[in-house]
Structure 1
Amino acid sequence: MSMFSIFDVAGSAISAQSQRLNVVASNLANADTVAGPDGSAYRARQVVFQTALMGPAGMRDTAAGVQVSTISEDASPGRRVHDPKHPSADPEGYVTYSNVNPVEEMVNMISASRSYQNNIEVMNTARTLLLKTLQIGQV
């Protein structure tokens, strides 16, 4: 594995975490939404990662990165609140809200942003090491 493949691996992780942050932002933005005209409320979405080979197929020392394989919807039921005066209440007087748990989403956001920052740091460290190596050759 060459030194340059570090940038490919860290770059794939940065891209994946960026998509995760976008999904978390969407979930948090819809945390308190109610069921729409079709009767279904917003469902929380989760990013599913998978391993991705970064080099040409068949190479012995191919690096493995990460990519988003799917974005799945949480199948758990939404939160139901009894509020017969709400315009979106069902015949029993219940309003169905999204199934987004804001606390879990904040944890996901912190985890994704830290992973993003760590991969930026990996790229910066690799860049610094490559520059130091070039400086050694100049002496």
Structure 2
Amino acid sequence: MIDPLQASVQIASSGLEAQSTRLRVVSENLANANSTGRTPGSDPYRRKTTTFTAEMDRAAGVRMVKVKDIGTDQAPFRVDYEPGHPAADPTGYVKLPNVNSLIEMGDMRETNRSFEANLQVIKQVRSMVSMTIDLLRS
């Protein structure tokens, strides 16, 4: 069993790692929000999702957050009528990704705030350790 300060840092670090993965997935979704299939009528990019889980670290005696899965959103694709587009099917419709930029921006903001909260925990623990060392010196 480790001390509570070390446990706090380990928990916050696992949160940072998980949120970093989530931010990468959100960024990938935004980067592909307007991509189309390569051939007429083919499926475009499908939005990815991140699922988290809590796992027990028996050595540390704490529950850590981990990325459980990076899946795909099975929502239907958007469809636009663009008969001159290279990815248009024979009827002139183009399939577009099922990515909603507004939702992705909301996810990005939430991810950023969670990342900042975990970083703040690490800073506070570091400050407490520093103050404890200063107290022991005097």
**TM score, norm. by length of structure 2:** 0.93
Alignment gaps of 5+ in structure 2: none
Secondary structure class of the residue paired with 1:119 = helix
Instruction: Tell me the equivalent position of 2:44.
Output: 41
Describe the superposition over 1:41-68 as per-residue Cα deviations: whole angstroms up to 9, x where unpaired. Answer: 1000011000022342xx8xx2111000
The sequence identity of aligned pairs, in percent, is: 33
- 1:28 and 2:30 equivalent? yes
Do 1:9 and 1:54's aligned partners in 2 also have CA atoms closer than 8 Å?
A: no
Deviation at 1:13, TM superposition (A): 0.3
Ranges of 4+ aligned residues in structure 1 off by more than 4 Å: none
Aligned length: 135
Instruction: Tell me the equivalent position of 1:66.
Output: 65
Do 1:24 and 1:108's aligned partners in 2 also have CA atoms closer than 8 Å?
A: yes
Q: For 2:78 and 2:36, how far apart are their aligned partners in 1?
A: 9
**TM score, norm. by length of structure 1:** 0.92
1:1-139 alignment, distance < 5 Å: 2=3, 3-37=5-39, 39-56=42-59, 62-139=61-138
Alignment gaps of 5+ in structure 1: none
CA RMSD of aligned residues (A): 1.4
